[in-house]
Amino acid sequence: NAGVTQTPKFQVLKTGQSMTLQCAQDMNHEYMSWYRQDPGMGLRLIHYSVGAGITDQGEVPNGYNVSRSTTEDFPLRLLSAAPSQTSVYFCASSWPRGSPQETQYFGPGTRLLVL
């Protein structure tokens, strides 16, 4: 198993540009999520999905869109990048769903710099 994979590893954007951060998992997990990590702060939840075709907002959703057409993939779209979106982005999946033992598995992260 590759686990949770993310591409690209690093990206530089200009203000106003759009891009998609890719996330994929091969563990057949229903739940997937996106977080951002900023210096001095913990990870904050952007969006999550409990299965194909179902997405919902987390703590900091503004400026980001998601979709979930398959169990494996959960891309994060920045529609019009802003310097405030400079951050490290982590994708995660979890299992077993809805159990007190539900454990999060994280990807290696994407570093995004918006100029």
Partner 1 sequence: KQEVTQIPAALSVPEGENLVLNCSFTDSAIYNLQWFRQDPGKGLTSLLLIQSSQREQTSGRLNASLDKSSGRSTLYIAASQPGDSATYLCAVYNNNDMRFGAGTRLTVKP
CA–CA gap between residue 37 and residue 29 (Å, rounded) = 23
Q: Which residues contact 101 (CB under 8 A, 6 or more apart)?
A: none
Q: How far is the CB of 63 from partner 1 (least distance, A)?
A: 19
String marking each residue 83-102 x if it binds partner 1 according to CB under 8 A: -------x-x------xxxx
Rule CB under 8 A: say whether 1 interacts with partner 1: no
Q: How many residues bind partner 1 (CB under 8 A)?
A: 27
Cα dist from 6 to 83, 88, 98, 99, whole Å: 21, 12, 25, 26
String marking each residue 6-45 x if it binds partner 1 according to CB under 8 A: -------------------------x-x-x----xxxxxx
CA–CA gap between residue 113 and residue 102 (Å, rounded) = 32
Q: Which residues would be at the binding site for partner 1 (CB under 8 A)?
A: 31, 33, 35, 40-45, 48, 50, 56, 58-59, 90, 92, 99-109
